[in-house]
Structure 1
Amino acid sequence: MKEWMAVGLAGMAGAVSRTAISQMVGYPGGFPYGTLLVNLLGAFLLCALIAAAPLRQQWKAAVHTGFLGSFTTFSALSAELSRMIADEQWGTAFIYVLLSVGGGLLSGLAGQRFGKGRVKP
């Protein structure tokens, strides 16, 4: 299978997964918990996979770029932050940035540690 086709098919699966999770979680209290969840989960999974499983280029492109690239969403985070700022929800916007960036970093570090623990020397 061509690499671009693998990325496209995996990307479709990632986008559908993100949409399903976001719809299940919703926006309780007007806060974008669904977007936050998929971004933190995506950071964890990407770092865990990089640390644990050296993949062939085609699979790496499909999983990392295709699935996880479409599963996580910087554009939704930006749109939600823009809405919060336009609505002058400064505290909520600050918490969202802190949880998204700080939480993403911590999730990535946790994923890396988890992934390294899966590699047998």
Structure 2
Amino acid sequence: MVRIIAVGVGGGIGALTRFWILDPSAIFPFSTLLINIIGSFLITFFTYVWLDREIIKALLTTGFCGGFTTMSAFSGEVYALFSIDIWIAWLYILLSVGLGIAAAVAGEKAARLVKKQFRGSPHVS
């Protein structure tokens, strides 16, 4: 039950954070790109830092990152961009996927540094 509440609280906070950052009036969806890159970094970082802390991991990964990142906005924006300019649409897809993967790799490396720095701390597993 605690895990379900953690996911709900994290998801609400993530969705509100996304709402404050998104700019639906922009011609190119930079805000969605930024949100998904940050989310790719954070979900990997949180997963590796709190590997054995199920409640914290549920709050931050499934909850916050799940509410914060947005595949549906990305898909809708790609569809809209294809009707405007096919090359811009493909650029957006490549940037989103490529930078998202790079951010995930960076998240893992950052988490490993944090774990190494705080080895033995009760707050990092």
- Structure 1: runs of 5+ lacking an equivalent: none
- Structure 2: runs of 5+ lacking an equivalent: 120-125
Write 1 or 2 for the structure with the bigger share of helix: 1
Please state if 1:65 is matched with 2:62.
Answer: yes
Please state if 1:81 is matched with 2:81.
Answer: no
Larger mean CA deviation between 69-78 and 1-10 belongs to: 1-10
Please state if 1:43 is matched with 2:40.
Answer: yes
2:103 maps to which of 75, 100, 107: 107
Larger mean CA deviation between 87-96 and 53-62 belongs to: 53-62
TM-score under structure 2 length normalisation:
0.85
Identity among equivalent pairs (%): 37
Is the contact made by 1:17 and 1:71 (CA closer than 8 Å) also made in structure 2?
Answer: yes
> What is the CA–CA distance in structure 2 between the aligned matches of 1:107 and 1:92, rounded to whole Å?
21
Aligned residues: 117
Cα RMSD after superposing both structures: 1.7
Paired residue type of 1:19 = F
1:31 maps to which of 28, 33, 44: 28
Runs of 4+ in 1 over 4 A off after TM superposition: none
Q: CA deviation at 1:39?
A: 0.3
Paired residue type of 1:76 = A
Q: CA deviation at 1:2?
A: 2.2
Is the contact made by 2:37 and 2:99 (CA closer than 8 Å) also made in structure 1?
Answer: yes
Partner of 1:94: 90
Partner of 2:17: 17
3-state DSSP class of the match of 1:119? helix
Larger mean CA deviation between 42-51 and 90-99 belongs to: 42-51
> What is the CA–CA distance in structure 2 between the aligned matches of 1:13 and 1:41, rounded to whole Å?
15
TM-score under structure 1 length normalisation:
0.88
Inter-CA distance 26–108: structure 2 relative to 1 (3 Å threshold): farther
